[in-house]
Amino acid sequence: MKGIVAFDSVYGNTRHVAEAMAEEIKAQGLEVALVNIGQTMKFDADADFILIGSPTRMKQMTFRTKRFIKKARKVYAGKPGAAFETKLRTPTDPTAREKMAKWIDNTAGPKIREMAEEGGIRMYDEVLRAEVVDTYGPLMPNTLEQSREFVRRFLANMNSI
Ligand SMILES: Cc1cc2nc3c(=O)[nH]c(=O)nc-3n(C[C@H](O)[C@H](O)[C@H](O)COP(=O)(O)O)c2cc1C
């Protein structure tokens, strides 16, 4: 069995998440291909599942991610998939949280999920919402372990999506 982990990344944070996911797929004994959407829109058509991730910028996935999904859903319709994102961390202070709500509640991951599902990819309900400490990173502590756990849950549920 083989999976694709496709990601876009401007500062490297989403790439770290994608790499941790790919490592976990390998650790589970499966084959994996990483696709850096910023470098290529080419991807293998013979995988069994696909994970797609983007940084959140201005509440959106990147334009390149959108283009990638349009292409990928033609090939991966009917197969299982999952969405992931990076986004700013949620402030613990309620007032700060309130101020940020517009930016941090409306993010790339659910949009990736929706767009891929509209195109027929059988998307996992849960979206991995990885957080960065500040605008350019780094990732919040434990994010890579959470990314691996997400992959394990996805693989365990993949056949019933
Ligand atoms: C121009 C710009 C806009 C951003 N807009 C948002 C946003 O709307 N919501 C959010 O949660 N994070 C936002 N961020 C933070 C990004 O999500 C963060 O830079 C990203 O997780 C980094 O991922 P990358 O290193 O893979 O590029 C923004 C960052 C930049 C530079």
The pLDDT tens digits for 73-117 are 999 999 999 999 999 999 999 999 999 999 999 999 999 999 999
Using the mean position of ligand 1's atoms as its centre, give its distance from the Cα of residue 80 in Å.
Answer: 27
- What integer is the mean pLDDT of 11-38? 98
Count how many domains the chain has. Answer: 1
Q: How far is the CA of 30 from the centre of ligand 1 (A)?
A: 31
The band of 121, judged by pLDDT with boundaries at 50, 70 and 90, is: very high
What pLDDT does 147 receive? 98
Q: HSE (CB half, 13 Å, CA atoms) of 71?
A: 15
Closest residue to atom 1 of ligand 1, CA basis: 57
CATH number of the domain where residue 106 is located: 3.40.50.360
Note down the domain range covering 59.
2-160
Kindly state the average pLDDT of the residues 123-139: 98
Which residue from 127, 135, 143 has its CB within 8 A of the most atoms of ligand 1, so it is best to mutate? 135
Give the nearest ligand 1 atom to 60 CA: 8
Q: Where does ligand 1 bind, in terms of residues with CB under 6 Å?
A: 9-15, 55-59, 86-88, 103-104, 107, 132, 135-137
pLDDT given for residue 48 in this prediction: 98
Residue 32, judged by CB atoms within 10 A of its CB (0-12, 13-18, 19+), counts as buried
- Alpha-carbon 19 to chain mean position: 11
Taking the C-alpha atoms of residue 126 and residue 121, their distance in angstroms, rounded to an integer, is 14
